[in-house]
Chains A and B, each alone.
Chain A
Amino acid sequence: MPRTLLVADDALIIRQIIKDMATNAGWTVVGEASNGQEAIERYRQLRPDAVTLDLVMPEHDGLYALHGIMEFDPEAKVLIVSALEQRGILKDAIKAGAADFVSKPFDKGNLQATLAQLLPNAST
């Protein structure tokens, strides 16, 4: 079965880039979220195999979403995709259970490889 992905970022264009890259790598993007609260709700609803999560989003941020998702599913595979400037928050995210991170700007190969490592035994 294809691996399923939820993409959470407040920038529509970044969501589109991640969706394109993930789809080309064999993922099925099952949903999108543009803020932290929506990311939690969509995760609970869709139960994707993995999530890409921006840290800086309006309303509730990515760290809030990460805590909410990990509380709901401690086995959740959450990939942080955020700007280099967020290094301080990034440490908190790793402590909170984020599986890995990719910093913006990112390239296609790096994002796809990091996503693949989240579920190394899954097939596309």
Chain B
Amino acid sequence: MKVEYINPFLVSTISTFKTMLGCVLTRGTPYIKNGWQPEHEVGGVIGLSGKAQRTVVVGLDREAALRATEAMLHERPPEINRDVVDAVGELANIIAGGAKAQLEHLHLSVSLPSVITGKGHSIQFPTKVTPICIPFDSEWGSITVEVGLSEPHAGAAGAPQEK
């Protein structure tokens, strides 16, 4: 695992949560995901493509998702609703965008985010993709960023469309 592939996502996640939400994250030890853990209740999924391919999943447990949305809207959602979906999608977008800025040499484009909800779901990656899991702890609960990596390939053109 090359640390330069993971660090941008780690740094961007910590920065986004601290700056936009006022939430300090404590990083755990990254590991290669092998199985159905971790499980989330809300997951923001976003792709980056160009001279490398990345799939990023920002996974939050229920309380973390509700608290993050509350921090953005100044109102606690009563349940996992459309506001939570928008909030987590935008967080995934900003985290991916921040990481992309640190990976300029890969000429990455960021896709539109998707958000998956449902208690105890786990995002799986294709066999050829190596998913790295970065766990974070916070006063809001567990937050995990999973980065599906495929190695840069020579001569690949970056996709032109941003975001």
Interface mask (A105-124 → B, CB under 8 Å = 1, otherwise 0): 11100000000000000000
Total number of B residues with any Cβ neighbor in A under 8 Å: 21
Q: Is the beta-carbon distance between B19 and A11 smaller than 8 angstroms?
A: no
Interface residue? A56 (CB, 8 A)? yes
- Which stretch in A33-41, A67-75, A81-89 binds the other chain? A81-89
A84 & B20 in contact (Cβ 8 Å cutoff) = no
Q: Which residue of B lies closest to A14 (CB)?
A: B90
Looking at chain A's contact residues, the main secondary structure is: helix
Residue in A12, A13, A104, A107 whose CB lies within 8 Å of B97: A104
The answer to whether A105 touches B162, judged by C-beta atoms less than 8 angstroms apart, is no
List the A residue with the shortest CB-CB distance to B85: A13
CA of A13 to CA of B87, assembled, Å: 6
Q: Out of B72, B93, B94, which one reaches A16, CB within 8 Å?
A: B72
Some 29 contacts from A to B, beta carbons below 8 A apart, are: A11-B86, A11-B90, A11-B93, A12-B86, A13-B72, A13-B87, A16-B72, A17-B20, A17-B72, A20-B74, A56-B163, A83-B97, A83-B98, A83-B101, A84-B97, A84-B98, A84-B100, A84-B101, A85-B97, A85-B98, A85-B101, A86-B162, A104-B20, A104-B98, A105-B16, A105-B20, A105-B98, A106-B20, A107-B19
A→B interface (CB under 8 Å): 11-14, 16-17, 20, 56, 83-87, 104-107
